[in-house]
Structure 1
Amino acid sequence: MVRLFRFLPVASLLLLAACAPTRPTAHHEGTVVTMGQQEQREQALADTSHWTLQGKLSVSSDKDSGNGTLTWKQDGDRYDFTIRGPITGRSFRLTGGPEGAQLEGLDGGTRRGPDAETLMAEAVGWQIPMAELKRWVLGLRADTGGADIRFGDDQLPSQLVQDGWTVDYKAWDATKTPAMPSKVFAEKPPFKVRLAIESWQLGK
């Protein structure tokens, strides 16, 4: 098993915790108003399958941790997920689509798998729900099953629990229409994924 992030300094994880303002924690059950607003958001973004986000990504488990800058391009069913180390500049690139996935930048050459989730688990030991994450990062419930969603005082989602993962929305960019997440923490012990989004580009 390859340690994908072992080249990244653990101390730099503290940088991500400091970036992007964090809203006060509040988890209110959905009301007719907040659930209605969420349904409107989901309808508005339902067909959003072409977008690019840039930001900082932090990952950790009980055995490994690290971070880097992230560029994530989603083009329908195809994705390009590139992580660059803050000091070495070394990049790892996860790409693929319905035909399978490949991971470049590892010692020993390119790895391939039937899908992103399986490839990441086999190559680096990470259980990352890529199919669900591409909806969660938009602030939407995935279509993989039931979800428990709660809201903050700003009436935007503050927490989403689905498929065994707890997704906390620590900050939103309310200047966009509809509002878009800018700080997303996902956790399914022992795995943690923290994403601070610096820019969104919706559409091709």
Structure 2
Amino acid sequence: MTSRFRVIAALAPLLLLTACAPKQLVRNQGDAASLSQQAAREQQLANADHWVLQGRLAVSDGKEGVPGSDFTWTQNGASYELIFRAPVSGKSYRLSGGPDGAELDGVDGGPQRGADAEALMRRALHWEVPLDELRAWVLGLRAHGAQADLSFGDDRLPSVLQQDGWTVSYLAWDTTRQPPLPLKVFAEKPPYKVRLAIQSWSLQ
């Protein structure tokens, strides 16, 4: 087994988490109440940059994949740390960085560094993960920059977000929190997929 395959097998699982199988989403065009509620959520979360989320992550390039990895994502202002734990080998991988670049630990050959996390993952793991946008999407927000189109569920929370060529589906929300936060976030830009099943949020 090549080192490239071992890394992909451990870190880039097939995006079909059995417990998170997609359901039929309600896709209502935003009425005044839905858009007003979303605007209020985005205002409340606009400065949210200190949080920890834990759950399961799976990614796919349309070719390779194994069951998803446990992961922890810590955001501390402009700095971040993502720790992945491969379910079969138990080996851990750590992606960390900030404005000055990114570092990936745990891969064969020692730590690898790059100017930004997306480019580093693309080079080292052959992933296509929109990490900058995902930082907003995991909060249920539109990322800055590209035009975004939103559809809403019957609960007036985002159901589908289309932005920068990606389709982001929200399959579950934690409505016990105010404002509500996503629990299942599936992003797809064929052939690439990223799926997150969030088990816990700690938002400061």
Give me the whole-angstrom Cα distance separating, in 1, the residues matched to 2:169 and 2:31.
19
Aligned 1:97-112 pairs, distance under 5 A: 97-112=98-113
Q: Is the 8 A contact 1:2 1:106 kept in 2?
A: no
Aligned 1:63-142 pairs, distance under 5 A: 63-66=63-66, 67-142=68-143
Mark the CA change 1:24 to 1:101 in structure 2 (over 3 Å): closer, same or farther: same
Which residues of structure 2 form unaligned runs of 5+?
A: none
Deviation at residue 44 of structure 1 after TM alignment: 0.2
Mark the CA change 1:113 to 1:9 in structure 2 (over 3 Å): closer, same or farther: closer
Matched, 1:165 2:166: yes
In the TM superposition, what whole-angstrom CA distance separates every residue of 1:112-164 from its partner, at most 9, and x where no partner exists? 00000110111111111111100000000000221001001111100000011
Normalised TM-score (structure 2):
0.92
Matched with 1:145 is 146
Give me the whole-angstrom Cα distance separating, in 2, the residues matched to 1:54 and 1:80.
12
Matched with 1:2 is 4
Q: Is the 8 A contact 1:150 1:159 kept in 2?
A: yes
Which deviates more from structure 2 when the two are superposed, residues 171-180 or residues 85-94? 85-94
Hey, which bits of structure 1, 4+ residues long, moved more than 2 A? 1-5, 7-11, 21-24
SS across alignment from 1:40: helix
Mark the CA change 1:108 to 1:23 in structure 2 (over 3 Å): closer, same or farther: same
Mark the CA change 1:180 to 1:111 in structure 2 (over 3 Å): closer, same or farther: same
Across the two proteins, how many residue pairs are aligned to each other? 200
Give me the whole-angstrom Cα distance separating, in 2, the residues matched to 1:9 and 1:95.
17
SS across alignment from 2:140: coil
Deviation at residue 5 of structure 1 after TM alignment: 2.9
RMSD between aligned residues? 1.9
